[in-house]
C-alpha cells in the first residue's frame, strides 16, 4: 500500500487512518498520529528505527504505569491545574507537552497527587527558565519542561533529599523554594493562587508522610479539616506570608460565615 492511497490501517491500533499517518519502515506498516502521541511523541518514537511491536510495547508500558488514574496522564495533570487554578502555562498545548515529560518519567507504582505550573529558577520578572510542569507524587517531586523540537528537561527529587520547602509573597508572584543539600529551586507562582498552591502542597506532603497516599486529593478545597486549614493559614499569618485581612477572609470562607 503506497503513501498516496487514501486510506490505510494503523499497524498499532488497527484503526483505519487517512493520509495523516507515518511509515514504520522496519515493519513496512503505518502508524496513526494518535498512537505516536500515546507512545510519547517523536521524542520517544523514531519511526525509522522502531517496529510496530516496539511501539505497542511502549504504549502498553505507559498504560500499565497510569493504571486507571487520569492524574497519571499529561492531559489529566494539566486539567487538574486548570480546574484548581494552579497555573496554565503559555497555553494548553504547551502545558500538556510539559506534563508529557513527567508522564514519560513515571515509575511503576507512582501516583500523581497534585500538579501545578510555575516559572522555574525564578530570580526576577525577566530572569527565569520559563514555565515548568511540577507534580507531587507518592514518591517524589518531579518537574520538567518540553523545549522546541526534541529538547526536554526533567528532574526529580526524592522526599528524603528535601531539607525544606518555604514560601514568600512578592509584588507580582508568590515564590516557592525547594531546598536540597545540592541546590535550591525558586518557583514563581501566580499571586492569585500562590497561597492555595503552597497550602495544598503541604497538605499533600503531610498525607504522604503519614503513609496515607492511597487516596488522591482531587481539589484544593476538598482536603483536610476546617481546623487544619485554619491552623495552616494562622501559621502563614504569623510568619507574615498573608495579611490579617487575607486571613480573616479565608477564615470566614472556611467557617461559612
- The pLDDT tens digits for 199-227 are 999 999 888 888 754 444 444 444 456 66
CA pair distance 143, 157, nearest whole angstrom: 9
Distance CA 85, CA 196 (A): 9
Q: What is the pLDDT of residues 38-75, one digit of tens each?
A: 888 887 889 999 999 999 988 887 777 666 677 888 98
At 201 the pLDDT is: 92
Q: Report the interhelical angle of 52-66 vs 92-104 (nearest 10°).
A: 90
For 62, 109, 170, 179, the CA distances from 133, given in Å and listed in that order, are 19, 20, 21, 18
Helix residue spans in 85-125 (DSSP H):
92-104
Instruction: Quote the pLDDT of residue 240.
Output: 66
CB neighbourhood size of 86 (10 A): 23
Sorted by where each begins, the domain ranges of the chain are 8-66, 92-224
Per-residue model confidence as pLDDT tens for the chain (257 residues): 455 566 889 999 999 988 889 999 999 999 999 899 888 888 788 999 999 999 998 888 777 766 667 788 898 999 999 989 998 777 888 999 999 999 989 988 899 999 999 999 999 999 999 999 999 999 999 999 998 766 899 999 999 999 999 999 888 899 999 999 989 999 999 888 898 999 999 999 888 888 754 444 444 444 456 667 777 777 777 766 667 777 777 776 666 56
Specify the pLDDT at position 120: 96
Cell of 84: 484548581
- What pLDDT is attached to residue 133? 96
C-alpha cell of residue 106: 513515571
Q: What is the pLDDT of residue 108?
A: 82
pTM over 0.75: no
Q: Which CATH code, of 3.40.190.10, 2.30.29.30, 1.10.260.40, 3.90.1150.10, is assigned to 92-224? A: 2.30.29.30
- In sequence order, which residues have a C-beta less than 8 Å from that of residue 17 and are 6 or more positions away? 7, 8, 9, 10, 30, 32
Q: What is the pLDDT of residue 89?
A: 74
Q: What is the pLDDT of residue 37?
A: 83
* Residues 208, 197: Cα–Cα separation, whole Å: 16
Which set of grid coordinates corresponds to residue 49? 528505527
Backbone φ and ψ for 232, nearest 5 degrees, come out as -65, -40
How many angstroms separate the CA atoms of 77 and 115, rounded? 6
Q: Alpha-carbon torsion 230, 212, 114, 220, what sign?
A: negative
- The reported pLDDT for the residue numbered 23 is 92
Amino acid at each position: 500500500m503506497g503513501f498516496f492511497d487514501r486510506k490505510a490501517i494503523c499497524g498499532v491500533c488497527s484503526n483505519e487512518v487517512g493520509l495523516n499517518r507515518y511509515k514504520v519502515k522496519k515493519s513496512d506498516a503505518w502508524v496513526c498520529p494518535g498512537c505516536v502521541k500515546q507512545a510519547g511523541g517523536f521524542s520517544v518514537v523514531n519511526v525509522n528505527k522502531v517496529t510496530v511491536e516496539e511501539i505497542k510495547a511502549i504504549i502498553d508500558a505507559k498504560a500499565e504505569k497510569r493504571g486507571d488514574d487520569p492524574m497519571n496522564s499529561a492531559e489529566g495533570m494539566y486539567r487538574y491545574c486548570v480546574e484548581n487554578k494552579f497555573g496554565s502555562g503559555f497555553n494548553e498545548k504547551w502545558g500538556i507537552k510539559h506534563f508529557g515529560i513527567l508522564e514519560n518519567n513515571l515509575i511503576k507504582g507512582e501516583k500523581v497527587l497534585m500538579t501545578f505550573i510555575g516559572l522555574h529558577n525564578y530570580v526576577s520578572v525577566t530572569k527565569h527558565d520559563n514555565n515548568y510542569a511540577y507534580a507531587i507524587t507518592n514518591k517524589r517531586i518531579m518537574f520538567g519542561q518540553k523545549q522546541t523540537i526534541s529538547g526536554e528537561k526533567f528532574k526529580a527529587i526524592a522526599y528524603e533529599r528535601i531539607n525544606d520547602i518555604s514560601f514568600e509573597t512578592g509584588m507580582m508572584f508568590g515564590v516557592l523554594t525547594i531546598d536540597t543539600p545540592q541546590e535550591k529551586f525558586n518557583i514563581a507562582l501566580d499571586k492569585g493562587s500562590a497561597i492555595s498552591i503552597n497550602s495544598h502542597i503541604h497538605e499533600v506532603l503531610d498525607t504522604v508522610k503519614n503513609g496515607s497516599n492511597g487516596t488522591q486529593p482531587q481539589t484544593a478545597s476538598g482536603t483536610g479539616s476546617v481546623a487544619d486549614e485554619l491552623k495552616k493559614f494562622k501559621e502563614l499569618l504569623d510568619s507574615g506570608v498573608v495579611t490579617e485581612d487575607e486571613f480573616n477572609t479565608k477564615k470566614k470562607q472556611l467557617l461559612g460565615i
